Amino acid sequence: MATRRLLPILLLAAACTGTPDAPVASFTSEPFGSMPDGRTAQLFTLKNAAGAEMRVTDYGGIIVSLTMPDRTGTFADIVLGYDSLAQYQASSPYFGALIGRYGNRIGGAKFTLDGVEYPLTVNDGPNQLHGGLVGFDKVLWDAEPFADSLGAGLRLQYASPDGEEGYPGTLHVSVVYRLTDDHRVTIDYEAMTDKATVVNLTHHSYFNLAGPGHTILDHELWIDADSTTVVGAGLIPTGEIASVEGTPFDFRTPLPIGARIDDPDPVLQLGPGYDHNWVLNGGITPEPRTVARLSHPGSGRVMEIRTVEPGLQFYAGNFLDGTITGKGGIVYGRRTGLCLETQHFPDSPNHAHFPPTVLRPGETYRTRTEYVFKTDAAGA
Ligand code: GLA
């Protein structure tokens, strides 16, 4: 194991000391397909100086693939997705996408702000999910790749028109993805509006640290949360915030995801299985802190999540049912990918005691999430 790990360490050391032949972060781009209006979507390949690669398209800001090493230094693609733009356009359960204007659900697809009721488009029973019929996951963003001393990145911008999917105000959104040389994927979100509105942006990669096609039930998860937002029908919060103590939602000690996922707990069964918002300890913080850790004992891959957000939706891929064939012809069966979506709580615009999601003219919405990849190899 020591010999196999030597090369990446030497290369990384060379990069740090500025040796002339040191690998450096880089980017390339190629056409990925066409939008219905004729515009071309691009596929950007970002590489860090330590051998990891992330492919991102400006369609939906989707992370199409992401490779990370296991404990022997072997890279594998650890996110679910498709090979072609046409497949994403035809139907996708938000694989790898940027989510907005409002990540997660808004009950009854409406909210009232400053005395005005705003009806939203409906796309999940009577509710709105992930920004509506054409959310930020389905639009073409302006994209600008870059590489610098931290790694490679992609700056994405989108101007969401006043009234889009029912939301007030023109919203100017900017998202910066980075793949850093120390194997972090960082996401910085910013937004400004010209009318009072609500915003809750997130990212929807389906991770599988074992590599494509495996179950996620053997992954171990730790979440730094003493409570969750209880949901009722349609996974809409009831407003109650309940302790995880003595329930299958208690991940304060790392446990395999499969250990309790089919527990008869009635709130868990609404998923069915994990598809809930954890109320992260510490609330909203000025700087990102580590809120969750996912590890796969078989490969040794570990992913830590750091964020400034107060909530985390853990979705265990319960709705994947083997009807989707993804990259490389791999069929995505039930629970073969999981999402950990940093966010404000679902349906906050309809719950005054949840942390507010209102953005007013003159304010800047800013949030940051980092996915930090490591291995459990000694010294890693
Ligand atoms: C989310 C939701 C899930 C499901 C997936 C997409 O994360 O919480 O209920 O809709 O997106 O299938």
Whether the predicted pLDDT of 42 surpasses 50: yes
Q: Is the CB of 94 under 6 A from ligand 1?
A: yes
Q: How far is the CA of 22 from the centre of ligand 1 (A)?
A: 42
Owner of token pair 């790694």: 151
pLDDT band at 182 (very low <50, low <70, confident <90, very high): very high
Q: Tell me the per-residue pLDDT of 237-276, one tens digit each, with 9 for 90 and over.
A: 999 999 999 999 999 999 999 999 999 999 999 999 999 9
Cis peptide before 272 (omega within 30 of 0): yes
Q: Closest Cα to atom 12, ligand 1: which residue?
A: 93
CATH class of 13-31+41-375: mainly beta
Give the predicted TM-score (pTM) of the model: 0.94
Q: Closest Cα to atom 9, ligand 1: which residue?
A: 275
Helix (H) or strand (E) holding 13: helix 2-17
Q: Is the CB of 315 under 6 A from ligand 1?
A: yes
Whether the predicted pLDDT of 231 surpasses 50: yes
Q: Which one has a higher pLDDT value, 379 or 134?
A: 134
Q: Closest Cα to atom 6, ligand 1: which residue?
A: 93
Q: How far is the CA of 367 from the centre of ligand 1 (A)?
A: 21
The predicted structure's pLDDT at residue 21: 73
- Separation between Cα atoms, residue 59 and residue 98, nearest integer Å: 9
Contact 274, 219 (CB under 8 A): no
Q: Which atom of ligand 1 is nearest to the CA of 105?
A: 8
Q: How far is the CA of 319 from the centre of ligand 1 (A)?
A: 8
Burial of residue 34 (CB within 10 Å: 0-12, 13-18, 19+) is middle
Question: Phi, psi (5° rounding) for residue 94?
Answer: 65, 30
Q: Is the CB of 251 under 6 A from ligand 1?
A: no
Coil, strand or helix at 8: helix
Coil, strand or helix at 208: coil
Contact 289, 277 (CB under 8 A): no
DSSP character string of 338-363: BEEEEESPTTGGG-TTSPP-EE-TT-
Six token digits for residue 67: 């490779």
Give me the sheet containing 339-343, strands edge to edge: 237-243, 225-231, 275-280, 311-315, 339-343
Q: Is the CB of 179 under 6 A from ligand 1?
A: no
Q: Which residues are catalytic?
A: 204, 341
Q: Is the CB of 137 under 6 A from ligand 1?
A: no
Domain coordinates in residue numbering, the chain: 13-31+41-375
Q: Calculate mean pLDDT across residues 33-51.
A: 98
Which residues, in sequence order, are CB contacts of 69 under 8 Å at separation 6+? 8, 51, 52, 75, 183, 301, 375
- Separation between Cα atoms, residue 276 and residue 339, nearest integer Å: 11
Q: Which one, of 344, 93, 350, lies nearest residue 232 by Cα? A: 350
Amino acid at 38: G
Q: Which atom of ligand 1 is nearest to the CA of 320?
A: 12
Q: Tell me the per-residue pLDDT of 12-26, one tens digit each, with 9 for 90 and over.
A: 433 444 456 788 999
Q: Which one, of 21, 16, 20, 53, lies nearest residue 373 by Cα? A: 53
Contact 339, 207 (CB under 8 A): yes
Mutation pick for ligand 1 pocket among 62, 88, 94 (CB with most ligand atoms within 8 Å): 94
Q: Which one, of 124, 307, 106, lies nearest residue 198 by Cα? A: 106
Q: Is the CB of 70 under 6 A from ligand 1?
A: no
Contact 295, 301 (CB under 8 A): yes
Q: Tell me the per-residue pLDDT of 341-362, one tens digit each, with 9 for 90 and over.
A: 999 999 999 999 999 999 999 9
The predicted structure's pLDDT at residue 378: 54
Percentage of the chain beyond pLDDT 70 is 94
Question: Phi, psi (5° rounding) for residue 340?
Answer: -130, 95
The predicted structure's pLDDT at residue 263: 98
Coil, strand or helix at 168: coil
The predicted structure's pLDDT at residue 9: 40
Q: Calculate mean pLDDT across residues 283-299.
A: 98
Q: Calculate mean pLDDT across residues 17-42.
A: 89
User: What is the rounded average pLDDT for all residues in the chain?
Assistant: 94
Q: Calculate mean pLDDT across residues 307-320.
A: 98
Q: How far is the CA of 324 from the centre of ligand 1 (A)?
A: 15
Q: How far is the CA of 21 from the centre of ligand 1 (A)?
A: 45
